Amino acid sequence: KAGFTEYGVAPLMLHIDGAWRDHKLFQILLNDLPPR
């Protein structure tokens, strides 16, 4: 919806509620934006 693309996962990156959890990684590149 915001234009970001999922490009990977960082396994066991975040410690939440006493457990290590995977974290999805998103990016938006300048070339992905519509022209102004």
The model's pLDDT over 1-36, given as tens digits with 9 standing for 90+, comes to 688 999 999 999 999 999 999 999 999 988 877 788
Q: What is the pTM of this model?
A: 0.66
Q: Which two tokens stand for residue 8?
A: 């990977």
Q: Which domain holds residue 27?
A: 1-36
User: Which residue reads 């970001």 in tokens?
Assistant: 4
Q: What is the pLDDT of residue 1?
A: 66
Q: What is the DSSP letter of 32?
A: G
Q: Which two tokens stand for residue 9?
A: 């996962």
Q: Which amino acid type is present at position 23?
A: H
If one counts the domains in the chain, the total is: 1
- So what's the pLDDT on residue 31? 83
What pLDDT score does 22 carry?
98
**DSSP bridge pairs for 24:** 9
CA torsion angle for 16, 20, 22, 23 (degrees, to 10)? Answer: 40
d(CA 28, CA 26): 7
